Amino acid sequence: MFPYNAITETTEIDGIGSYLFDNGSTSPKTVIDISIQQSGSQSISTVECGTETVAVNYGKDLPNVLMNYVCNDVLQANKTGAGDTAFYMITYVPYDTHTGSSSVAYANGFSYDGIFIGFVLLLMFMVMFFGGLWNRVDGIKKKKPSHNTYLGNNSMEGKIIEYD
C-alpha cells in the first residue's frame, strides 16, 4: 500500500526522447515504484535522477520494482533507439522519507495510531464484557450471597438484618 499522497505519473516515449517527471522540479522526492514496458528490444530505457541512474531496462520489459530511492534532482525518463516505444510508470511522494515528514502514515484511510487506539479499546471492551459475563456465570454456579444490609424502619431501629 502506497502512502495516501503518492503521485503516479505515466508517459510513453516513441523513438529517441526524454520526459521530466514532477514538471522538472528539483525538490526532494522519494521514488517508491518504477515500471518500464517496451514494444521491442531495440533501445535502452532509463530513469535517472540528475546524472544518477535509478532504473534501466535493457530488454523487453522491466516489471514493477518497489524501491525507496530519494531523488534531490530532476527525475527524468530517457530512451535511446528509434525502433520501438517505451511506456514508463513511476510512483513517488513529494518529500524525502528518510529525513521524515509531517505526514502521518495511513493504511486503507486509517492512521496507524488510530488503528492502535481502536485495537486497545476493542480489547478493553472485550475484557470488560467477557469478565462481567464470567462473573455472572460463576456467581450463579456458586450461589454466592450478596450480603446486603437493611437497617429497617423505626420499629426495628438499631438492628441490622442481612438477607440474600
pLDDT tens-digit profile of 101-152? 555 555 566 667 777 888 999 999 999 998 888 887 776 666 655 555 555 5
Average pLDDT value for residue range 46-63 = 87
Give a yes or no: residue 20 inside a domain: yes
Cell output for 81 = 533507439
The answer to whether residues 124 and 56 belong to one domain is no
- Residue for cell digits 462481567? 132
pTM listed for this prediction: 0.59
- Does 29 reside within a domain? yes
Span 72-87, mean pLDDT? 89
CATH number for 27: 2.60.120
Task: Please give the tally of structural domains in the chain.
Answer: 2
> Which pLDDT belongs to residue 139?
67
Helix (H) or strand (E) holding 113: helix 112-142
3-class SS at 41? coil
8 Å CB contact between 37 and 44:
no
Both 23 and 75 in one domain: the answer is yes
pLDDT of residue 126: 94
Q: Is residue 103 part of a domain?
A: no
| Same domain membership, residue 138 and residue 60 | no
Q: Is residue 155 predicted with pLDDT exceeding 70? A: no
